[in-house]
Every structure is written in structure tokens, then in C-alpha cells.
Structure 1
Amino acid sequence: MNFYKVNTETQQIINFQKSHGNSSNHFIFYINCGILINDLINNQRELKTESQSDIRKRIQDISEYFTEDGIQLSNETDFDNLKDRISKAFKEHIVLYFDNYSTKKACISEMVNKNGLYKNEELLDYLCRKNDSDLIMKYVENVKKMLLKNSGIERTEKIMARFENQLKSNGSLTLELENVLKTMGNKGYN
């Protein structure tokens, strides 16, 4: 089940997703939130499913009222308590979250700072079209730090080479950016 809101620069979705591992006496579902930037790729985008979103979060990533992955229902579930937690999460966190990310600028900043490799080609293409070398540099540095921390030098070098090719094809590869893409041992990346 999906609920949508269309803004001038973004589209937002709340998705209720049931788990595939449900049984007759134990049911799990997820509340997913997604944001799509209308012109990240082109002006003809329409958000139909949460998986199309440029920024995706589960309720436990937005609200302190949920810490577990998935909301579990069983014979022991206190439904009044659950209803209150969901209501508070929406009123206090999810509405604010969507308000904070209703503009393209806020969403691009979030993607640059926290999206990692998710939607990386679309984001790099967008930043190149906008000729925003500062944000390109920040994004590449953030991804590189994340990769070196979690994936090691070999995978990082492969992805940085892919970024370099994409930036070359867009005409956005500066000497400074090329140095960031190729240098693995400085700026605290180790």
C-alpha cells in the first residue's frame, strides 16, 4: 500500500510492505519512506514504487519509536501501543523528515553526504549537468572514504575508475578531481 505527495521539486512516498516470511500467527511489515527528485534524470519521472526513490529510508532510520527491522504482529502484540507508536512516529518524525527533504537542494545534499553508491550514476550525471564541481568533489570523496573503510582498496580503485570514466564522458573531470580519484593513501582515507 502506497501513499504519495507531489511537491514542486520532489515526490514523496510512504510504503507499507509485508514480509515474505509471514505465517498465520506471526506477521511482519515494514514502513518505507522514499523521495524522488523530479529532474534528477529528466522531467518526466513519476514515482510509482518506493524502490524507484532517490532517497530511501525505513521508519527505524527516521524515528526513535522504532528500532527493530520490521514491525512484528502476533497474538501477544499490544495493538494500542503499536498504534500510538506509529502515530507518534508519523507526527513527530516522518512529517518533519519529508518537510526537511521537500526541496531538490536538500535532497541533493542528502544524496551527496549519505547515499554512498545508491543512485551514484544518476547523481553524478546530474551534478555534471549542473556543472557543480564542488559537490562532485564532495560526493566522490565521501564515496571513496566509505569504500575504503568498508570494501578495501581494490574495490575502491575499480569504482573510482568507473567514476573517472563517467566524469570524462560528461566533460567534468578536473585535474583536482582526477587526483582524488587516483590517490588512495592520503587525506585520511586509510
Structure 2
Amino acid sequence: MQQYFNDLIKQDIKPFLSKYGFAKKNLNFSKTTENLIYMFNFQKSSGNSADHVMFYVNCGIYAVELAQIQSREILTAPQEVDCHFRARMEEIAQSVPDRFSITPDMNRDDLRKSLLNGLEEVIHFFESMNSARSIVDYYISGPFLHLSEECIHMLLQSNDIQAAKQYLKALQEKHGTERRWSIFENKYKVIFSKYGVEFEAG
């Protein structure tokens, strides 16, 4: 089954993703544009055996602009863990399972079709995420705590004060009762203060 996994990557996944400009390195496929790097990472499950191989597909987008806000070194070959947007394939492509399973009695055509359809759905999603701001907008829509400091930085940096305040309010409504909220709130105060904008806690 391990050999089938290797063949699947080599004979199906690699040619499919290369059509969209993705280059392969180990189990990572990446595509670089001017300010963003898009990535697929194929992660094998730790509990695999000779006749049962399970794997996940991780999706990521790395943004130079957000790395600069974080004062981090700009990476030309980031790993999936370095990406600013991160999701498992099934979070984006609703039609795929949460993990793919290779067994001797599986239907190989069904697996291949499901996987390629899922990759195509994610690629269309990637096309809509074409700037650091679109990553920020995605996390604002949650509203998610992940990347929230960078989101507020970017909104205030671009003088979108109204959006920053609305985002803060939405975060407070969703996460304000959590014990860790005060830690985040203090970080947000510092960011608002840096841009000379009044901080309005709920």
C-alpha cells in the first residue's frame, strides 16, 4: 500500500498540480507568486501499516506582508507550519473525507477522483485568496483568534479603523468569556496604541 501511495503522488498528484504551476519537493507542492506562496502538504498518518496507509492533505498560504508585520525572517521556501493561512483540505473542499485511506480492497478510481476533485476545489479557493489582505479578511469573517494580532495591525496600518474596531467587537463577542481573552485584549491594546487609535473594550 505504501508503493500505491508513492505511485499516486508520482503518477496522479504531481502531473495534476504541475498543470497549475505547483512544484514538488518531497511530499510538499508549492507555487510562488509575487507576494504569496501556496502549498499542499501530504501528511502520512503515524499509525500506518503495510496494508493500510492513511494520509491527510494540508493546505497553506504564506504571505510576505504578514511575515513583515510579525517581524519574522522572510522565507523563500516555507514549510506548511510557517504558513499564515492553514487548513486541512476537508475544511475547504466539503466533498472530501477528513483523511484518505489506502487499503487492498479500496476502489482506486474513487480515491483518485475524490482526491483530484478536492485539490481542484482548493486551487479555486486559492485563486480567491490573492493577497495578504484576503487572508486577513478570511480570519476576520470567523472571527478567529488565529492571526488576530496581525489582522488588526494590517487594518490599522491601512487606516481601516472602522473595520479594526468591528473586528475587535466581534472577537470579544465570540471569545470574551474565555480565560485567555485578557491576554489577547492586552496585546490588542498595545497595537491600537501603536497606531494612535483609541481602544474601545466592550
Q: By the TM > 0.5 criterion, same fold?
A: yes
Q: Which amino acid in the other structure matches residue 113 of structure 2?
A: D
Q: Quick check: 1:81 aligned with 2:106?
A: no
Q: What runs of 5+ residues in structure 2 fail to find an aligned partner?
A: 1-26
Instruction: Quickly say closer, same or farther: Cα 1:32–1:153, change in 2 above 3 A.
Output: closer
Quote the residue 1:186 is aligned against.
Answer: none
Quote the residue 1:62 is aligned against.
Answer: 92
The one of 128, 134, 150 aligned to 1:100: 128
Matches of 2:167 and 2:113, distance apart in 1? 39
RMSD: 2.2
Contact 2:157 2:195 (8 Å CA) reproduced: no
Q: Which amino acid in the other structure matches residue 6 of structure 1?
A: T
Quote the residue 1:134 is aligned against.
Answer: 162
Instruction: Quickly say closer, same or farther: Cα 1:117–1:99, change in 2 above 3 A.
Output: same
TM-score (norm 2): 0.74
Matches of 1:142 and 1:70, distance apart in 2? 32
Deviating more after overlay: 123-132 vs 28-37: 123-132
Instruction: Quickly say closer, same or farther: Cα 1:153–1:33, change in 2 above 3 A.
Output: closer
Q: What runs of 5+ residues in structure 1 fail to find an aligned partner?
A: 184-190
Matches of 1:139 and 1:36, distance apart in 2? 22
Shift of 1:76: 2.7
Contact 1:17 1:31 (8 Å CA) reproduced: yes
Helix, strand or coil at the partner of 2:86: strand
Matches of 2:74 and 2:49, distance apart in 1? 40
Number of positions where the alignment pairs a residue of Structure 1 with one of Structure 2: 172
TM-score (norm 1): 0.78
Instruction: Quickly say closer, same or farther: Cα 1:73–1:98, change in 2 above 3 A.
Output: same
Quote the residue 2:53 is aligned against.
Answer: 27
